[in-house]
Amino acid sequence: KSDTPQFDFWLVIATLEKCKPVRIPINIYAYGKKVINSGKLCTGVTLTRKNGKWYATLVVETINKKTKASKIIGVDLGIKNLLTTPVQYFGQFSEKLKDKIKQNDLKRRR
């Protein structure tokens, strides 16, 4: 975090000279601030230059909230009925597609 109101962060980059890092001020857009505040900012950054502008890609570790499981169903994909659930079935294969599947099955059996 930055101690100055002009910038959101100071990016500290190590140099080949011992104890003389380069400090680069950066500003972060609103969504980026929200993400950073919701997690833990990891070390490491990727710097990219596009069209004469520099961009920093930061990594934030967040904890995903566990969701409650809803009803679970089994689904069967078949030839007679395209998709079948315990409650009902959905759609049917076309006759052309059924014939093509049968032809492929016969070829594999030979």
For the ranges 52-56, 71-75, 76-80, 81-85, the one whose mean pLDDT is highest: 52-56
Confidence of residue 52 (pLDDT cuts 50, 70, 90): very high
| pTM strictly above 0.75 | no
What CA–CA distances, in Å, run from 81 to 53, 76, 90, 96, 103? 56, 9, 7, 14, 18
Mean pLDDT in residue range 21-50: 87
Cross-strand partners of 10: 25
pLDDT at 81: 61
Asked if residues 107 and 100 have their Cβ atoms less than 8 Å apart, the reply is: no
